[in-house]
């Protein structure tokens, strides 16, 4: 891929897709086999929430075996689906190319299915769930504001020592110390999610007045280094509970988690 062309299309959009050259070294592994190693990845926003990596075909080390399947995208064009083979392992349908894409920067790159790979590295550090978005920032601040959380009219948390996590495009999240949460109302959930900025979150189901609300709260017990300030603290989905802030009831935000 011509890097000059890629740079010229920086933040170029067609339909809902935005394409921008990345600046990190990116590697993908299937088992112990190196699938791709690139210092010129593309960040492609196929959806508004976060980008995907598209890697130059010349930087793909694995064998790409055409399957004959096609995927049609209104903005990216016709995608040709491939199996990925490396080190005796095969990831079925894990790579897609767009050789005739109406977006020139996508014609010589490969899209690898994130979840089909066993490991992704940005530089020499693992990254989970999706690439880090260069336009997303996470700030965690100590606060003395009074936060009270209600579920079905019952107070489940009450704290004057929260930490507030501000993340781009999301409402503030109030992380509360466990002693300020009615943990007898929490039931551990098997659900685990990963965030490229915060790490692995475990969830709690809340049971109040005989009503069970699944995965209403979460905790980062071992967050990534940049998010250590929320280690061991509990947060609730403000979209699904009633939050009182300094005595004033807050309107429930509308997000993709609503």
Average pLDDT, the chain: 93
Q: Each residue of 69-126: pLDDT tens digit?
A: 999 999 999 999 999 999 999 999 999 999 999 999 999 999 999 999 999 999 999 9
Does pLDDT of 3 surpass 70? Answer: no
CA 227 to chain centre: 15
Q: 16: pLDDT confidence band, cut at 50, 70 and 90?
A: confident
**pLDDT category of residue 48 using cuts at 50, 70 and 90:** confident
Task: Please count the CA atoms within 13 angstroms of the CA of 239 that sit on its side-chain side.
Answer: 11
**What is the per-residue DSSP string for the chain?**
--HHHHHHTTTEEETTEEEEE--S-EEEEETTEEEEEESS-EEEESSSS--EEEEEGGGB-SEEEEEEEEEEETTTEEEEEEEEEETTEEEEEEEEE-TT-SSGGGTTEEEEPGGGSSEEEETTEE--SSPPPTT--EEEEE----EEEEETTEEEEEESS-EEEEETTS--EEEE-GGGB-GGGEEEEEEEEEETTTEEEEEEEEEETTEEEEEEEEEBSS--GGGGGGBT-EEE-TTTSEEEETTEEPPPP-STT-
Q: Range with the lowest mean pLDDT among 4-8, 119-123, 209-213?
A: 4-8
Closest CA to 120 of 110, 130, 135: 130
> Model confidence over 226-250: pLDDT tens digits?
999 999 999 999 999 999 999 999 9
At residue 15 the predicted structure's pLDDT band, cuts being 50, 70 and 90, is low
Domains and CATH numbers, the chain: 3-126 (2.170.150.40), 138-249 (2.170.150.40)
Say yes or no to pLDDT of 13 above 70.
no
Residue 202 clears pLDDT 60, i.e. is over it = yes
């Amino acid at each position: 891929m011509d890097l000059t062309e890629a740079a010229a299309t920086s933040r170029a959009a067609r339909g809902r897709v935005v394409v921008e050259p990345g600046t990190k070294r990116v590697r993908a592994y299937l088992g112990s086999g190196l699938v791709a190693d690139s210092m010129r990845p593309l960040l492609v926003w196929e959806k508004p929430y976060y980008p995907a990596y598209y890697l130059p075909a010349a930087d793909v080390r694995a064998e790409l075996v055409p399957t004959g399947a096609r995927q049609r995208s209104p903005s990216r064009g016709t995608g040709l689906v491939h199996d990925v083979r490396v080190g005796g392992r095969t990831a079925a349908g894990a790579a897609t190319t767009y050789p005739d894409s109406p977006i020139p920067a996508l014609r010589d790159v490969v899209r690898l299915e994130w979840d089909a790979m066993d490991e992704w590295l940005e530089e020499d550090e693992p990254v989970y769930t999706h690439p880090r978005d260069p336009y997303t920032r996470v700030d965690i601040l100590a606060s003395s504001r009074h936060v009270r959380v209600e579920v079905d009219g019952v107070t489940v948390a009450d704290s004057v020592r929260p930490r507030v996590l501000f993340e781009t495009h999301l409402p503030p999240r109030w992380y509360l110390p466990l002693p300020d949460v009615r943990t007898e109302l929490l039931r551990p959930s098997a659900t685990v999610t990963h965030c490229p900025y915060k790490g692995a979150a475990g969830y709690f189901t809340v049971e109040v007045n005989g009503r069970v609300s699944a995965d209403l709260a979460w905790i980062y017990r071992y967050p990534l280094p940049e998010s250590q300030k929320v280690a061991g603290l509990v947060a609730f989905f403000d979209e699904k509970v009633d939050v009182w802030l300094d005595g004033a009831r807050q309107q429930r935000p509308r997000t993709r988690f609503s």
